[in-house]
Amino acid sequence: MTLVLILIFSTLGSVGAVLLAAALFLTRRDFSSRLKTIILGYATGTLLGAAFLGMIPHALEHLPSHAVLTTVLAGIIGFFILEKLLVWRHCHEDDCHVHAQAGPLILIGDAFHNAIDGMAIALAFQQSWSLGIGTALAVIAHEIPQEIGDIMILIHHGWSRGRAVFYNVMASLTTLLGALLAYAIGNSVSGMAPYALAVSGASFIYIALADLTPDHRTQTCFRATLLQVTSMAAGIGTIILVHALMRPGH
């Protein structure tokens, strides 16, 4: 049953996120700043909630705090390096300075990142269903604005809408490959799971703070700030609710 849930939620976090992003893009060519703020704020909240309230606490149940926090720190630095090497960045606009020079190479970075997401989902489900569902929701939430941005960028570079969506779906399938790999390895090397969860938590923290938060900082008025904080709180609240509902004996 665990493997079935891993495959279902990995598909929702990969192909499902791309198709939903494509539907939003095709039905709403212009996204208001308010809608962008809500989507990015919610994604930020779910990522931080999944990392600090799910992944890292679970890792701390099996490892000393020093080992877990050192792994998280190393993971954040590692993902910074990967971003530099693989152009692994979450774009939310078609006018992106980084990807304007990389073009279709973003698909390579996305494929690699999606594989990491798949591993995170599989590892989380192997610990508990609540952790798995919370992790999958965080993946879905941050994949939607990323995929919208990627589709915009590819179309900006002359790709047709259909081609842009198709290749993003292809890149998203690495989520399933990553999930299956983590599931196979997790069953044979269970002692590595806490370290892997710490690294997954590091990836969520890095995406939230390095890629999503800068978008929030460009809006400084009180109303926008209130909307950002409310959206982030809703994302964190979603993770708390999932863990509460999935708690044994609930």
CB 43 within 8 A of CB 209: no
Q: Domain residues for 210? A: 2-25+40-245
Q: Is the pLDDT of residue 244 over 90?
A: no
Mean of pLDDT values over 234-238:
93
- Amino acid 208: pLDDT: 87
What is the distance between the alpha carbons of residues 69 and 60, in angstroms, rounded to a whole number? 9
For a pLDDT cut of 90, what percent of the chain falls above it? Answer: 34
List the one residue out of 170, 135, 154 whose CA is nearest residue 46.
135
Q: CA-CA distance, 74 to 51, in Å (whole number)?
A: 15
Task: Give residue 25's pLDDT.
Answer: 74
Token pair, residue 168, equals 């993003």
pLDDT digits (tens, 9 = 90+) for 156-178: 777 888 888 898 999 999 999 99
Report, as an integer, the average pLDDT of 182-208: 84
What is each CA distance from 236 to 25, 30, 168, 242, in whole angstroms?
Answer: 26, 27, 28, 10
Residue 250 lies in a domain: no
**Residue 87 domain-assigned (yes or no):** yes
CA distance linking residue 201 with residue 206, whole number of Å:
9
What is the spatial distance between Cα 150 and Cα 164, in angstroms, rounded to a whole number? 8
pTM of the complete model: 0.79
- Provide the domain count of the chain: 1
Q: Is residue 92 part of a domain?
A: yes
For the beta carbon of residue 102, count every other beta carbon within 10 angstroms: 18
| For range 49-60, the mean pLDDT | 93
> Is the pLDDT score of 217 beyond 70?
no
The closest of 133, 154, 144, 184 to 15, measured between CA atoms, is 144
Residue 32 within a domain: no
Instruction: Tell me, rounded to whole angstroms, the distance of Cα 39 from its chain centroid.
Output: 13
Q: What is the pLDDT of residues 73-95, one digit of tens each?
A: 999 999 888 877 765 455 545 45
pLDDT band, very low/low/confident/very high, at 50 (cuts 50, 70, 90)? very high
